[in-house]
Amino acid sequence: MRGFGGFLAYRLFRTLVALWLVSTVVFVVMRLSGDPVPLLLPPDAPIAEMERVRRDLGLDRSLPVQYGVFLANVVRGDFGRSIHFRQPAMEVARSYLRATFELGLVAFAVALIVAFPIGVLSAVRRNSLLDHATMAVALVGQSAPTFFIGILLILILALRFDLFPTSGRGDWRHLVLPALTLGAFTMASIARITRSAVLEVLRADFVRTARAKGVSELWVVTKHTLRNAALPILTITGLQFGTLLGGAVVTETVFAWPGIGRLAIQSIYNRDYPVVQSTVFIAAVLFIATNLLLDVLYGILDPRARA
């Protein structure tokens, strides 16, 4: 129907609307959450001082005006100054982003490197001991709460065997437990999806034809099967990358990892609106960008998806 360009333009439009909705909801929720000024000043601060701070932060104006100012600033990428850090909020949020990226990318890479071969092997050696064992573990991993996986890892690997530190950021050893915790769900999902996608393709007629022609099993799997199984695997994998961001909030809290998820939680407790807005906005942009990228990739790989 529409061309690839039209498909992209439509996706982009929906993306912008989603971003607007997200920032509006955040604005409303944060403004409902009460006055941040008493948290900023000592309890015995004079009323006049409180009024001055309130005026400085623009909190004395009516909500619609505040909302208008807020939207205009969002378009410019300006979320105001952090109440807690006394710096531009976006800069604060961005400075925490590095740690989250580090953790997220390592978690994702580990999940992919472990899960993909397991998924393929489980499909090829269907109903073997390896298949049953890994899929059982994957099922448990998929339903286990992230924070409890973190607690168990701390208990066993950090406290019992003293292999890794329990919290904080530093050398690579600090990364192991948080990355495993954050990646656990993704790992389980990728393993299961890879297995079922490969199984699906292995049943296809062209695989039977290839085998009938005498093509070696290794070649059947690597050339004929994996290429065709790539699409569903790619979709789920990309979606997983997005949910990884949500998991980062919990994981970073459990391991005191100085990333954007923990910053968001702390800022909510501090009622530091500008930082909360910045973090949520960054998270939304990252998530949406991943999905958009995925759509484009999908459209390129599979012409049928462009309609």
Where along the sequence are the contacts to other proteins (CB under 8 A)? Answer: 14, 17-19, 21-22, 25-26, 29-30, 32-34, 139-140, 142-148, 151-152, 154-155, 159, 193, 196, 232, 245-246, 248-250, 253, 261, 264-265, 268-269, 276, 279-280, 283-284, 287-288, 291
Question: Which amino acid type is present at position 194?
Answer: T
Closer Cβ to other proteins, 14 or 125, answer by number = 14
Least Å distance between CB 161 and other proteins? 13
Q: Cβ closer to other proteins: 131 or 211?
A: 131
User: Which residue's entry shows tokens 């066993």?
Assistant: 156
Distance CA 294, CA 237 (A): 10
How far apart CA 216 and CA 203 sit, in angstroms, is: 16
Q: How far is the CB of 103 from other proteins (least distance, A)?
A: 14
Q: Minimum Å distance from CB 152 to other proteins?
A: 7
- Rounded Cα distance between 58 and 279, Å, is 20
Task: Give one DSSP letter per residue of 198-226, joined into a string.
Answer: HHHHHTSHHHHHHHHTT--HHHIIIIIIH
Whichever of 265 and 297 has its CB closer to other proteins, that residue is: 265
> Taking the complex as a whole, how short is the minimal distance between the CB of residue 288 and other proteins, in angstroms?
5
Nearer to other proteins, 103 or 220 (CB): 103
CB of 13 to other proteins, least distance (A): 10
What is the smallest separation between the CB atom of 48 and other proteins, expressed in angstroms?
28
Q: Which lies closer to other proteins via its Cβ, residue 9 or residue 152?
A: 152
Helix (H) or strand (E) holding 10: helix 4-32
Smallest Cα–Cα separation from 123: which of 178, 179, 194?
194
| Cα gap 182→133, rounded to integer Å | 22
Please identify, using beta-carbon distances, which residue of 20 and 219 lies nearer to other proteins.
20
Q: Which residues contact 119 (CB under 8 A, 6 or more apart)?
A: 190, 191, 192, 193, 194, 195, 197, 198, 233
